[in-house]
């Protein structure tokens, strides 16, 4: 039976808060911490964390390197890196270095990217969705060569390297854990062939992110995407018992049932849908601590979902979760 793991999504706007929450996660027994890889977020572009472009947003790899230096056990996740942000060969060097700084604790989360305005602002090419997804697969193949070959050479559909020496190679062998984030069928196919973890999010046709659409993406369709992932991995000859399903969820928990319901109602309004649809959405878990425990168990059974990544609205909620919910899954 797979271990149930919990990930804490770290604050990205202030490193004092980042450090504080990373140390809390380490002390409280979280399996991992993750850090979003965006230069900025714009809620008008479909962002789901209520940010605007001028909200401070620290750079992912710099911040995680600092977190690695002050922690010993908790794993470090990029959540997730749009492959177009960095030359993948340079990313191979960056990630090998971060794996050394953390002594083998890196989980590299990768995606095709979605926030077009961010690309445009930084003068980064933003090709059509199908092309970005193709580049994602090509980059993963290149990264594996960068991490393992003594004289990394690769000529793919979009990226090429010739003797791109990358020493020291990563601590993790044969290479760091790979997580692919997304929900489109082609992204799921890529994850099934190349990743260790699928961070499953409801898909958009244009590759974007829309909280309202995510809430309305029902549990049956979510399960169908999971089945597609496992079926594709089996057909590729992979051991599915070693693969994991994860998703990012907003935690709306309170010991006061009425307060939990108020948070859920506010989230439903923000997503432009009704409270019962939001209650059933994979995007949220709500209720009292006993109700939250029951819902996590339900998702383990219903979806084989054993790697939960959470946003917490407050430190108090985080501490309550660690003390009253997590021990049930130790």
Question: Which residues lie across from 78 on neighbouring strands?
Answer: 35
Residue 48: the pLDDT is 46
Residue 201: the pLDDT is 87
pTM of the complete model: 0.95
Reply yes or no: is the peptide bond before residue 185 cis, omega within 30 of 0: no
φ, ψ dihedrals at 294, nearest 5°: -60, -40
Give the separation between CA 160 and CA 221, rounded to whole angstroms: 37
Residue 47: the pLDDT is 41
**Alpha helices for 71-164 (secondary structure H):** 88-101, 116-121, 129-148
Q: Tell me 59's DSSP state.
A: -
Q: Which residues of the chain have pLDDT under 50?
A: 44-49
Residue 45: the pLDDT is 41
Residue 52: the pLDDT is 82
Reply yes or no: is the peptide bond before residue 174 cis, omega within 30 of 0: yes
- Compute CA distances 39 → 10, 13, 183, whole Å: 15, 11, 22
Q: Residue 277 is inside which H or E element, if any?
A: helix 275-280
Pairing, β 154-155 against β 197-200: unpaired
Residue 57: the pLDDT is 93
Give the separation between CA 228 and CA 61, rounded to whole angstroms: 32
Taking only the tens place, the pLDDT of each residue in 138-197 is: 999 999 999 999 999 999 999 999 999 999 999 999 999 999 999 999 999 999 999 999
Residue 1: the pLDDT is 73
| Structural domains in the chain, sorted by start | 5-329 (3.20.20.30)
Taking only the tens place, the pLDDT of each residue in 115-131 is: 999 999 999 999 999 99
């Amino acid at each position: 039976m797979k271990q149930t793991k919990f990930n804490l999504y770290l604050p990205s706007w202030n490193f004092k808060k980042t450090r504080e929450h990373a140390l809390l996660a380490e002390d409280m027994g979280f399996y991992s911490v993750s850090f979003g890889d965006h230069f900025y977020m714009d809620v008008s572009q479909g962002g789901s964390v209520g940010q605007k472009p001028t909200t401070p947003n620290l750079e992912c790899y710099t911040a995680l390197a600092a977190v690695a230096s002050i922690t010993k056990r908790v794993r470090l996740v990029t959540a997730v890196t749009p492959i177009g942000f960095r030359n993948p060969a340079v990313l191979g060097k960056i990630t090998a270095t971060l794996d050394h700084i953390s002594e083998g604790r890196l989980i590299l989360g990768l995606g095709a990217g979605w926030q077009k305005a961010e690309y445009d602002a930084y003068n980064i090419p933003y090709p059509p969705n199908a092309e970005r997804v193709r580049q994602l697969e090509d980059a993963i193949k290149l990264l594996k060569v960068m991490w393992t070959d003594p004289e990394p050479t690769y000529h793919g559909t979009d990226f090429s390297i010739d003797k791109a020496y990358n020493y020291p190679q990563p601590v993790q062998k044969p290479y760091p854990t790979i997580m692919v984030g997304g929900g489109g069928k082609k992204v799921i196919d890529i994850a099934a062939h190349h990743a260790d973890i699928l961070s499953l999010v409801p898909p958009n046709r244009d590759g974007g992110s829309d909280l309202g659409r995510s809430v309305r993406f029902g549990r049956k369709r979510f399960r169908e995407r999971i089945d597609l992932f496992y079926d594709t991995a089996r057909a590729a000859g992979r051991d599915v018992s070693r693969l994991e399903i994860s998703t990012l969820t907003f935690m709306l928990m309170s010991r006061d049932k009425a307060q939990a319901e108020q948070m859920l109602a506010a989230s439903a309004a923000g997503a432009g849908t009704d409270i019962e649809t939001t209650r059933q959405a994979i995007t949220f878990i709500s209720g009292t601590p006993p109700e939250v425990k029951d819902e996590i168990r339900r998702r383990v059974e219903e979806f084989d979902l054993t790697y939960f990544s959470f946003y917490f609205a407050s430190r108090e909620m985080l501490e309550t979760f660690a003390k009253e919910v997590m021990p049930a899954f130790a």
